[in-house]
Chain A
Amino acid sequence: MPTASESMIVHVGQQRDEVVAATLAGLRGISGLRFGGTAFLPKYKTSTAQEKLDIVGGGCDYALADPQTERMEGPLEKRGYGRAHLLYLQREDPGASPGPFVDEVLTAQAQLGRHTVISPWLTHGHGVGQKHLRATRRFAMEAANHPLAKSCELLLGVAVAGGILADSNALDDFLDELVDWPDGPIYLRVVTSTSPSYEQLRDTNLLIGLRRLVESLTSNERIVLLPLSGLAGWLMMPFGARAFGTGISASLQRLGPPRGGGGGGDRLRWYFLPELLGFVLHDELRLFSSLPGYTVCGCPFCAQLPLDRAGGDWDFDTAGQHYLHCCGQLCASLSTAAQPRVQLQRRLGRAQSFWQMAQSAGVVVDSRSVPRHLAAWIQAVG
């Protein structure tokens, strides 16, 4: 069950099955790490979704089928081509018939063998006033009374725009609403699209709001899961978040909304540098590798394809696997720490010191590789 103890939620995207299996096998080798997985229900036809969930379920402590009901905010034709088997995606207005809509969402997950089901949501902050939040509350109430809530663990799905968290009054209103919902763990998606996906989140107000949200819900005896939150979600673990989620592909690594593939351009050759808790361009590794405090990565993926060597080769999937493995190590370091907040503050302090040392040594990197997030993170967790 995702709520049993601290864990990382691995979001499985379009990667080949063997890549996913290898990624999960690598995570299993991390001492003290508990992790689960999700696949997006509307992304696939039924058989593919089942296959992905079977792989995830076989390699993780739990597997979720995320219903991605924020798709309901868009027009019918954009909710998922060829997904007619998902009845809930065909509804014109889910708020108009919440009972049947919730039944279809929960049933779709249960039919894929899920023992934990997630109630649907619309994104608070994307609609007019509190319309989406009221609808989501209604969905939660319907779900709490649904027969599947008795036989499965129910997570109450919520999605909120980052702007709500960054606004103190709006956050207070949001919290007042959430604490009055039916009892149950909250599966909280935070949606922001303010910066490119290769950057870590560095909106201080949003991060402080997210921390307050997690702390308040936790003090109200709510378990909070932060899927698709990336390392911004990891930052929240010492403040009560039971799980944070991230994925291999860039669009799954943080709070940004998942996007489709394509684009046609060359992929950005990024590399997650644990010393900076952020991404740098792969070609820049040589600038850091000679600095004191730099450690050659010991993850199984870097060992196979030495991404971490200056001038080494680069591969998209391997870079994602390395990133996920680092996230697993970071998760385990907090979930097993006697004093997680102190541990987090030390970790951030080390990252800041490493960057200052790099600057002192004259290291000049692409502006996209500058770890601007660290100051915001230190302020948010201070």
Chain B
Amino acid sequence: MSDLKIGCDVVAKGLGPFEAIAVLGAGAYGETYRVERGGRCTAIKVIHNPQIGHLWERELEALGRITHENVVALHGSGSFDVAGTTYLYLECELVDGGSGAERISAGMSPSTPAETKAMFRGLLRGVDELHDVGVIHRDIKPANIAFRGPGWASPVILDFGLAKVFDMSSHTDYPALLGTAKYMAPEQLRGTVARRRSDLFSVAVSVFELASGTHPFVDDRIQTPQQLRDRIETTVPPSLDSLGGAVTPTVDRILGRLLSARAHQRLSLDQALRDLESDDADGE
């Protein structure tokens, strides 16, 4: 983590003292730290652009009211100044089972259809909770999914609502495909407004990749968001089962519907959850 823009010292000066602080990750817009204070460990995300803070005030207010096992708990948010620079931060629950991106990198995947289904259901329930308070996540991806414990049954959605502040120009300016764009719905890749069903598309891509280690649309020939959008709009993704994923036919079918290029062709969240319930009832 030598290319940190903020660093542990700045965070400790601004928000400390801490008993311990360590870097958890760094992205284009901020850095996340694991801190220990008063015997409690939390995650602090620090963003180095105070100009954008007002853009998600409403979301933060809404998210502060959420208590749900599949959405990371928000403990607080605000800003601090160090050496004349203002930083924004969010302090959240620390989820201990690692992120989905880490598990994909480690070659891990659910070993039974029941585990895949539980992960899928947990993510849908988390998204349902976000949508209920009026928040569209816009950036669901394996890096923004963590797990409680070593299993797959308790996924937790992180980094909610922040992507609203970064329009598509932030992504398309990059010559190569950015990690975030890989999980975006085609309507987001077109630069139009993200909808609730955009989150469902991103959940489906994430579950597909977590369960199979393979992205449903991206291969070596896809280099740009435009190419990815064309691929999504002109091809039908393979079934998860055909790639060796541990999955029931029902879950495969639901994923297929949620990966539809057009939002109206995707299942609604309620319908997807109902279909998962019926899969349980069928004993699969």
Contact = CB atoms under 8 A, between A and B. Distances in A.
A4 B271 CA distance: 21
A175 B271 contact: no
B200 to A, nearest CB: 11
The 5 closest A-B pairs by CB, nearest first: A175-B264, A176-B263, A180-B195, A179-B264, A176-B264
Interface string B255-269: 000000011110010
B187 interface: yes
Nearest to B264: A175
A178 B195 CA distance: 11
Nearest to B267: A220
A221 B271 contact: yes
A216 B262 CA distance: 11
Interface string A169-182: 00010011011100
Interface in A169-227: 172, 175-176, 178-180, 216, 220-221
Given A221-B268, A221-B271, A176 B262 contact: yes
Contacts of A180: 195-197, 263
Given A176-B195, A180-B196, A180-B197, A221 B270 contact: yes
B270 A172 contact: no
A234 to B, nearest CB: 24
B contacts with A: majority SS = helix
A178 B263 CA distance: 10
A333 B264 CA distance: 31
A220 B270 CA distance: 10
Interface of B: 187, 195-197, 262-265, 268, 270-271
A176 B196 CA distance: 10
Interface of A: 172, 175-176, 178-180, 216, 220-221
Q: Of residues B195, B197, B264, B270, which shows the largest number of chain A Cβ atoms within 10 Å of its Cβ? A: B264
A175 B262 contact: yes
A contacts with B: majority SS = helix
Nearest to A176: B263
B112 to A, nearest CB: 31
A319 to B, nearest CB: 40
18 contacts: A172-B264, A175-B262, A175-B263, A175-B264, A176-B195, A176-B262, A176-B263, A176-B264, A178-B264, A179-B263, A180-B195, A180-B196, A180-B197, A216-B264, A216-B265, A220-B268, A221-B268, A221-B270
B6 to A, nearest CB: 36
A221 B270 CA distance: 10
B187 A176 contact: yes
Q: Of residues A172, A175, A176, which shows the largest number of chain B Cβ atoms within 10 Å of its Cβ? A: A176
Nearest to B134: A141
A220 B197 CA distance: 12
Contacts of B262: 172, 175-176
Contacts of B195: 176, 180
Nearest to A222: B268
B284 to A, nearest CB: 23
A281 B197 CA distance: 51
A179 B187 contact: no
B157 to A, nearest CB: 19
Contacts of B268: 179, 220-221
Contacts of A220: 264, 268
